[in-house]
Amino acid sequence: MLDIKFIRENPEIVRRALEQKGGTLDLDALLALDAQVSELRRKTEQLQAERNANAKAVSKARPEERAALIEKGKEIGQQLAQLEPQLRELEGQLKNLLYLTPTIPWEGAPVGPDDSFNVETRVHGNPRIFLFEPLDHVTLMEKNGWADLERAAKVSGSRSYILRGDLMIYEQALLRFALDQMVRAGFAPLSVPSLTKEEVLFGHGQFPTARDQVYSVDGEDAFLAGTAEVLLNYLHAGEILSEDELPKTYCALSPCFRSEAGSAGKDVRGLMRVHQFNKVEQYVLCTASLEESNKWFDTMLSISESILQALELPYRVLEVSTGDMGLGKYRQVDLETWVPSENRYRETHSCSALLDWQARRANLRYRDADGKVRYAYTLNNTALATPRILVMLLENHQNEDGTVNVPKAVQPYFGKERLGPTP
């Protein structure tokens, strides 16, 4: 969310950001409600001051004056009893509107309503030219007995999968490989729960707008997280860190869950879009410095690129448009990896800087060198997500006999140079 003071002073800047990002917030309604809250808060504070002054007067009053002062105190108390619930109700309404405010996007972001306005900035590697008829990843899995999609659907429904044999081991090897790259880069590895609370999802920014993407546990304040970032972003909620404790650089390996609402008919075959997956996530909490945020953005993007390069996969870099990046993001760059069977690139990594948008929601603060308490900046990026990356690895590294080569960087983790058929 944005600072209400900034919104009051810069309504046209906020209005333009809402237009660029496709926001649904009625900014005029927010400003009107803010004015109403401010006035009611002023009245309430004035009455509280009068009550305090009256209470002091009672303690010092002569006996003949005390009854009138006590009666006055009761009247003030009755007025406060009416105003305070109104104030709390309106403050809650204002907070709900503030949740819908956008981060002002950086000036270099392509302006457009959707992903068709994303801009390719560079390409790394060339798509492989096959000397045989390549297979798609589903056919490769079926040929080698590497997955059981039918039985997975029987026990778990659509968009589920079961990996078998070498492919199951390969997935685990890839996740550990990615985790090790993050640790070598200086990120602290964490394990995080899959269950999270509603307030945490509000702090992250997934609520209130994307509830349909989240699985909930009936009868409990419990939801299945769609990314470890949700929980990493709330670890220090409510704390006041010292500036020398920052940056906090975390990575986490966790199962992730998404309902994929609205994706009916898209990627229903295979491993591209599933309800449960595994991900190594990068997360940074840093000081409120644009220079510092930009530095970590470049660092996190570089880590993801180095992982794709180690996996020997061709990819491209996209500067994401204002309408595609979401409300909270200052800047977003996606990495898309080549899928031979589709003859196109598909997204595998998403690097995002959110400035203080999440920090204000989650109350992530630190005390700077001058003693001032400030909201921190946050960033996140994928290190590696499976099983999606298996689509690219299987298809790009396949052999004519159906076996699949393992990139040299992962061979020590997997123990073999190729994936072979499951006995």
Torsion of CA 166, 167, 168, 173, to 10 degrees: 90
Catalytic residue (one of 159, 171, 254, 258)? 258
Amino acid at 298: D
- Asked about 388 being catalytic, the answer comes back as yes
Closest C-alpha among 24, 216, 21, 193 to residue 105: 21
Place of tokens 């040929």: 143
Q: What is the 3-state secondary structure (H, E, C) of 335-385?
A: EEEEECCCCEEEEEEEEEEEECHHHHHHCCEEECCCCCEEECEEEEEEEEE
Q: Name residue 366's amino acid.
A: Y
Classify residue 50 as exposed, middle or buried by CB count within 10 Å of its CB (0-12, 13-18, 19+). middle
Give me the helix-helix angle, 388-396 and 165-184, nearest 10°.
110
CA distance 249 to 296: 10
Distance separating alpha carbons of residues 113 and 319, to the nearest angstrom: 14
Residue of 201, 394, 217 lying closest to 312 (CA atoms): 394
For residue 123, the cross-strand partners are 316
Q: From CA 104, how far away is CA 87, in angstroms rounded?
A: 29
Annotation marks residue 350 as catalytic: yes
Phi-psi region of 270 (alpha: psi -120 to 50; beta: other; left: phi over 0): left
Task: Please state, in angstroms and rounded to a whole number, the distance separating the CA atoms of residues 112 and 414.
Answer: 43
Do the beta carbons of residue 358 and residue 233 sit within 8 Å?
yes
Which of 211, 273, 316, 346 is flagged as catalytic?
273
Annotated catalytic residue within 350, 361, 374, 395: 350
Check if the beta carbon of residue 330 is closer than 8 Å to that of residue 2: no
* Tokens at 359, concatenated: 């920090």
One of 194, 347, 367, 418 is an active-site residue; which one? 347
Tokens (6 digits) for 23: 């926001």
Residue 261 corresponds to which tokens in the numbers above?
Answer: 């609402």
Residues 6+ apart with CB under 8 A from 169: 414, 415
Task: Identify whether 216 is a catalytic site residue.
Answer: no
Q: Give catalytic residue positions.
A: 258, 273, 347, 350, 388
